[in-house]
Structures are given as C-alpha cells and as structure tokens.
Amino acid sequence: MKAVVYEAFSAPPQIQHLPDPTPETHGVVVKVMATGVCRSDWHGWMGHDPDIRLPHVPGHELAGIVEAVGKDVTQWRVGDRVTVPFVGGCGSCPECYSGNHQVCDSQFQPGFTHWGSFAEYVGIHQADTNLVALPETLDFATAASLGCRFVTSFRAVVDQGKASAGQWVAVHGCGGVGLSAIMIANAVGANVVAVDISGDKLQLARELGAVATVNATEVASVAEAVIEVTRGGAHVSLDALGHPATCFNSISNLRKRGKHVQVGLMLADHSTPAIPMSKVIAHELEILGSHGMQAYRYGAMLDMIQTGKLSPEKLVGQRIDLEQSIKALTSMDEFQGVGVTVVTEF
C-alpha cells in the first residue's frame, strides 16, 4: 500500500510503498476513503507525543470500507462503511467496563499508538468495541471530519458540560474544534458567545449559531467582556484552542458553579497552564476534560446529523490527495485555514 511515513521527528515525511496490513484476530483492516489532517498529527510529527514509535504513519480521523475481518470479530463484515473514534478502547479494562472507552487503560489510537490512516489501508483493533457504522447518506469526507474535533466537541458540550437550553456557552477559539462546539451548543438550545482574534472566524462562528462574539484583540479583558455579554458569566465555557491564555479566560469568565471544559490539547510548553484556583474554590467551579468519545455514543450525534440539526459538512474545507497531505501536515502551525482539510484521494 501507499502510505505517508516519517522516520525522524520534524524530518520531511515521504510517500512509501509498504506491505498491506493484515487484521488482528479481534480487528479489521479498513480501506481508507477519507482522512482528516489535524493539529494532533502535527504535534505527533514534531515529537510531542510519547506514544509514537518510529518509523510512523500519521492519521487518526478516518472513514472507509471494511476490507478484511479478523476471525474473532462478530459484528462487522467486508464492505461495511465505518469510522472510528480517535481513542479506541481495549474492551476489557475497568474504564472500558464502566463505559469510558475514551480513557481506556490500554488505548488503541491509530496514528499515535499504531500506524494511522495517511495510507490506503489501516488496521483497527478491537473492532466490535470501536467501529461505528456510517449511515448511507453520510459521505466519507464528512465522516472523517467528525473523527476527533467534532466528537470531542460533542462530548465536551453534551456529556461533560451538559449544556442545556437557555444556558450561556462561551467558546474560546474558533478553529475546527471551536466551530464544531458552537454548532453543537446552538443545536441543544444554548446561547453561544464565540471568542477569537480573527474577524473572519467570528463571522463564521455567527453563521454557525453564535449569538454574540468577542474579538480578543479589541477588548481590555476577554473574561470581563464575556461576563458582560452573558450578564453574569457563562454556565459552560470551553477552551477550544489549547493555550494558557484561552484556558485562563475560559475559567475566569464562568458564573458561579459554572463548568470549564478543556478541549484543546495542552502539550509541550503549554502543559501546565495557570489556573485561577481561588475562583474555582470560591465560586465552586468545575474543571473537566474531553478526550474523544466512545463509539457507542456516536449514535446520538449521527442522529442529529441525519435529522439536520447538525451540519458537520459545513466545516469541511479543502479536499486534497495523499501527496499534498505532507505539506498540509508539516505546515499546520503556519497555515490557519478555515475548516477541516480532508485527504480524499490516495
């Protein structure tokens, strides 16, 4: 198969021809029809992820068709249209038994713990636990774009933040994660305040359902601006970027007993941000994380897509081929495009 491979961190990846994968007894091989290009892939390539062993094939936001099935798999057949969460569960640890595959003790993460989907084929472990069937009407590029940013936002807003009708939800950072969160929070009936430093992104945020916006470059204090708009602070606030400043603002703009959900990754120099802990205590704030979503929770999200309440296809940006994915990956920190770039030709 053709695959994008890197043999050293930060060194240029190359297209290589590798043997096709074979399924584990509990796994499947998926023919990749679409795979998203994500900042996490860039972090991995930079060497920020200790799970990655070299040489490595990146890619974790995938959708495709089951090509081969291991002998112990009971739920899936060759030809099934599928996607997977970026964290796969082992199915047999205490976290998996409690239904929390997203924090499994021995996680399977294509593109991190194992070779990923910047390739014609990818092996997926524990298929009965981790595969998600795609509705016929959902195209592969949109399905791939759900992979990590959209599902992580869904879990952040719905399962962790428990945002509900009439609540104020603040979203800090309007990239792929933030715009997903805005769409989802709006769909559950919350009033969304979007925060960013780009007027264009705030305009897109408004089109996707934000009722108010704050341009962080135009106000003295982002937290004060959000508190003013929301008349007392957000009930739920998300750091959708993953930066010490947005994390601090997201906690600081909460009303009493509000919930902060950290969605953007905090890696390398950003891994231990300042937290206004005196406010967390005095106002009984909650600080939560969101780390993907279990395969079995996809049904609720897919139903909202099928019924037209969520439109993730609006977040799909450029469609590129495998060759172009190398540039898209390595220039991720310079290039601030709108929407999710998806590889659709291999």
Q: Could you say which of 82, 87, 148, 158 contacts Zn ion (CB under 5 A)?
A: 148
Closest CB to Zn ion: residue number: 38
Q: Closest approach of Cβ 93 to Zn ion, in Å?
A: 3
By CB under 5 A, residue 90 contacts Zn ion: yes
Q: Which stretch binds Zn ion (CB under 5 A): 59-67, 167-175, 224-232, 247-255?
A: 59-67
Q: Closest approach of Cβ 302 to Zn ion, in Å?
A: 18
List 117's β-bridge partners, or say none: none
Beta strands in 173-233 (DSSP E): 191-196, 212-215
Half-sphere exposure of 325 (CA within 13 A, CB side): 33
Count of CB atoms situated within 10 Å of the CB of 20: 14
Half-sphere exposure of 256 (CA within 13 A, CB side): 2
Q: Closest approach of Cβ 41 to Zn ion, in Å?
A: 7
Q: What share of the chain is helix, strand, coil (3-state, %, to 5)?
A: 30, 25, 40
Q: Tokens 């003295």, residue?
A: 220
Q: Which of residues 11-40 bind Zn ion (CB under 5 A)?
A: 38, 40
Amino acid sitting at position 33: M
By CB under 5 A, residue 316 contacts Zn ion: no
Q: Could you say which of 52, 73, 82, 104 contacts Zn ion (CB under 5 A)?
A: 104
Q: Which stretch binds Zn ion (CB under 5 A): 45-53, 60-68, 73-81, 246-254?
A: 60-68
By CB under 5 A, residue 89 contacts Zn ion: yes
By CB under 5 A, residue 93 contacts Zn ion: yes
Q: Which is nearer to Zn ion, 40 or 130 (CB)?
A: 40
Do you find a cis peptide bond into 55, omega within 30 degrees of 0?
yes
**DSSP SS3 for 293:** coil
**Residues within the interface to Zn ion (CB under 5 A):** 38, 40, 61, 89-90, 93, 96, 104, 148
